[in-house]
């Protein structure tokens, strides 16, 4: 069976069932797990499926992937980006880390930094840094989003507006070819916009899979970002746009 035929049938199964697994497809087609992983990677590269732990699902522009799946997705790339980002973060500053598995990866890389004031609306970030003696952690408060430990809403925004950070490290759910940062939760968008407003400099941590996704709510343009950390070169004319916006792009490969 040709891979083109398998791809069509994989998409048919995904449309019927919403999600496919590597093991299930391997049994269905009588091929190896490695063959199915290649098929799913090819379909994800074309933007027709979205990889999740153990399989893939149809991409959605209205709802995000589950937190546990996001946490394991592109883990090596996130670790590489986080290391590159943390190397650019000096000691002795105030820093905001927002919601997302990529910013959580950055938090893990900051545990040996000294004299940081970290403000966050991410309960997972707070827990990661809780035992770091040289790091003071301030949690914003807000409406707890139990699925991922995020704090959103007016209380989170009002807390952020009490600060002026030296640096903010943010993530996003999607990034379109125009260079717009996108998200699914309008409450989180308002919080992210407040972070950008109150930060002297901003880093974005976003792997290349974000360019194959779509989301309905706009946060800001890459022109508002000082440095973007990603794991692959940007496509199309985005590098030229970033150069015109004076947005540095750092590619950190796993």
pLDDT at residue number 72: 58
| CA quadruple 205, 220, 223, 179: dihedral sign | positive
4's CB contacts (< 8 A; 6+ apart) are none
The Cα angle at residue 243 between residues 237 and 247, in degrees rounded to 5: 110
pLDDT block averages, 10 residues each, the chain of length 254 = 83 85 92 92 81 79 55 79 97 96 96 96 96 93 90 94 97 92 90 96 94 88 97 94 97 90
> What local confidence, expressed as pLDDT, does residue 181 receive?
96
Q: What topology is assigned to 71-251 in CATH?
A: Rossmann fold (3.40.50)
pLDDT at 215: 86
Angle 236-238-243 from CA coordinates, rounded to 5°: 135
pLDDT value, residue 14: 86
pLDDT of residue 16: 82
Domain ranges of the chain: 3-59, 71-251
Q: What are phi and psi of 138, to 5 degrees?
A: -115, 125
Please report the pLDDT score of residue 232 as a whole number.
Answer: 93
The DSSP bridge pattern shows strands 202-205 and 227-230 to be parallel
pLDDT at res. 254: 82
- The topology under which CATH files domain 3-59 is Arc Repressor Mutant, subunit A (1.10.10)
């Amino acid at each position: 069976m040709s891979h083109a035929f398998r791809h069509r049938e994989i998409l048919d199964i995904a449309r019927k069932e919403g999600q496919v697994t590597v093991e299930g497809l391997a049994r269905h087609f009588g091929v190896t797990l490695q063959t199915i992983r290649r098929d799913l990677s090819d379909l994800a590269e074309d933007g027709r499926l979205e990889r999740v732990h153990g399989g893939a699902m149809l991409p959605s522009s209205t709802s995000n992937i589950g937190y546990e799946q996001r946490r394991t997705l592109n883990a090596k790339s996130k670790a590489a980006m986080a290391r590159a980002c943390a190397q650019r973060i000096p000691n002795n500053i105030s820093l905001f880390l927002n919601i997302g598995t990529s910013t959580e990866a950055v938090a893990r890389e900051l545990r040996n930094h000294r004299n940081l004031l970290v403000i966050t609306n991410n309960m997972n970030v707070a827990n990661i840094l809780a035992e770091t003696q040289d790091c003071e952690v301030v949690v914003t408060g807000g409406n707890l989003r139990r699925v991922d430990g995020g704090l959103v809403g007016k209380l989170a925004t009002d807390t952020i507006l009490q600060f002026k950070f030296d640096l903010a490290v943010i993530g996003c759910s999607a990034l379109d070819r125009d260079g717009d940062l996108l998200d699914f939760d309008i409450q989180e968008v308002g919080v992210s916009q407040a972070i950008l407003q109150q930060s002297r400099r901003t880093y974005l941590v976003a792997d290349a899979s974000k360019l194959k996704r779509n989301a309905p709510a706009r946060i800001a343009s890459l022109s508002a970002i000082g440095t973007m950390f990603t794991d692959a070169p940007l496509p199309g004319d985005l590098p030229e746009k970033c150069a015109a916006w004076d947005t540095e792009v750092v590619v950190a490969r796993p």
